[in-house]
């Protein structure tokens, strides 16, 4: 009987997994088809406008007439405003797609190759002015399966600018063409890290223990902010030698870089003692914890205030293991964040 239940449970699990996968594929297919359909509607509207003698007046009249007839035939979703969005959608993305008239076969191929997000995602992406930045967020949203809310958060926290900060022009171009590629420790770093999801007002006083607990409570959000490949290992992880005990605030492992990532939290300004302590943590992990097949340990000090000169002088010139980054507990405006990054006065 137990064997029957066990086998039956296994069969149920397999079928359930298949149905869940199928439902996701169906939803994805619906999103792709809708986005491509709206792109095509936009193309037809633009081409019709271009045939008109007085484009502005003619275009408005076209949208009004289309809206009236489409709404009568197909219901909601075809207001003048929405049709204008489809028109703008085509103009925004036309340069990324062949300008030839699409056949039904081309239509299917373009869906698979281009539009893999929901219409709501593209409405948000269309508001990004630069092609490079827009393409970056589109790639990351697809690869990381970002919800619309997460996409908006990553944009509002200036992820593209924060990742671009430590890259030269060629690397920034790659960022916009392929998204974030993590090959070395520097690729995974951000400065600053934005922790607005913790809900800590700017004026509120808190301890390092409070900050650690809030990060654990919002671990899923923190992992998203850390970026690609991070998995949680533990908090206050203890190690000992010579009858002395030490604790690392937070320990992660990055599956892409194949190394441990140690994080130390500081509520004030970083000191050279903090950097020295992290160097000791990293050395210990490299010598006694990591496997021979794993890469060198990374240490990140998250601090409220950072002195770049102090960090640069304290750490070795060829440093690729210890990093110091400022964190923000309140999300500034995108302009303020860009100014903050450009000034680099942390």
pLDDT digits (tens, 9 = 90+) for 110-168: 444 468 898 999 999 999 988 889 999 999 999 898 999 999 999 988 898 888 776 76
Query: In this structure, what token pair is assigned to residue 265?
Result: 């939290």
Range among 18-22, 92-96, 331-335 rated most confident: 92-96
Residue 263: its H or E element? strand 259-269
Task: From 152, 150, 208, select the one nearest 327 (Cα to Cα).
Answer: 208
Once rounded to an integer, what is the mean pLDDT over residues 258-286?
96
- Joined together, the tokens standing for residue 220 give 């899923």
Joined together, the tokens standing for residue 205 give 């006083």
What is the rounded CA–CA span in Å between residue 266 and residue 245? 19
Chain centroid to Cα 246, Å, comes to 33
Distance (Å, whole) CA 238 – CA 261: 15
Cα dist. 146→158, 173, 180 in Å? 15, 22, 14
Mean pLDDT of 36-44: 88
Residue matched to tokens 């937070």: 250
Residue 58 has pLDDT above 70, yes or no: no
pLDDT band at 222 (very low <50, low <70, confident <90, very high): very high
In the predicted model, is pLDDT for residue 4 greater than 50?
no
Note the pTM of the prediction, 2 decimals: 0.76
- What's the full length of the chain, in residues? 346
Q: Which residues pair with 300 in a beta bridge?
A: 263, 323
Which among 247, 245, 215 is positioned nearest to 232, based on CA atoms? 215
Six token digits for residue 164: 């671009």
Mean pLDDT of 30-37: 83
- Which pLDDT score is estimated for 163? 84
Q: Looking at the DSSP assignment, which residues form a beta bridge with residue 115? A: none
């Amino acid at each position: 009987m137990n064997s029957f239940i066990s086998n039956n449970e296994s069969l149920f699990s397999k079928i359930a997994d298949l149905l869940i996968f199928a439902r996701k594929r169906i939803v994805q297919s619906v999103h792709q088809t809708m986005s491509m359909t709206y792109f095509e509607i936009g193309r037809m509207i633009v081409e019709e406008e271009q045939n008109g003698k007085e484009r502005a007046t003619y275009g408005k009249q076209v949208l009004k007439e289309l809206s009236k007839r489409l709404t009568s035939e197909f219901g909601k979703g075809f207001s003048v405003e929405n049709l204008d969005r489809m028109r703008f959608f085509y103009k925004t993305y036309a340069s990324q797609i062949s300008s030839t008239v699409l056949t039904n076969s081309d239509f299917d191929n373009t869906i698979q190759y281009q539009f893999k997000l929901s219409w709501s995602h593209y409405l948000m992406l269309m508001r990004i002015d630069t092609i490079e930045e827009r393409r970056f967020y589109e790639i990351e949203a697809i690869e990381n399966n970002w919800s619309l809310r997460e996409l908006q958060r990553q944009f509002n926290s200036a992820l593209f600018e924060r990742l671009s900060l430590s890259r030269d022009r060629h690397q920034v171009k790659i960022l916009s063409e392929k998204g974030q590629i993590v090959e070395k420790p520097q690729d995974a770093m951000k400065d600053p890290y934005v922790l607005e999801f913790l809900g800590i007002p700017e004026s509120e006083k808190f301890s390092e223990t409070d900050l650690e607990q809030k990060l654990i409570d919002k671990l899923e959000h923190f992992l998203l902010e850390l970026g690609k490949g991070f998995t949680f290992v533990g908090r206050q992880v203890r190690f000992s030698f010579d009858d002395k005990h030490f604790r690392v605030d937070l320990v992660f492992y990055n599956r892409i870089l194949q190394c441990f990532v140690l994080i130390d939290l500081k509520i004030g300004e970083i000191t050279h003692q903090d950097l020295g302590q992290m160097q000791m943590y990293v050395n210990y992990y490299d010598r006694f914890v990591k496997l021979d097949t794993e890469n060198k340990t990374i240490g990140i000090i998250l601090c409220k205030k950072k002195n770049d000169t102090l960090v640069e002088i304290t750490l070795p010139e060829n440093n690729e293991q210890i990093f110091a980054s400022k964190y923000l507990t309140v999300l500034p405006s995108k302009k303020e964040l860009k100014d903050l990054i450009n000034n680099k006065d942390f």
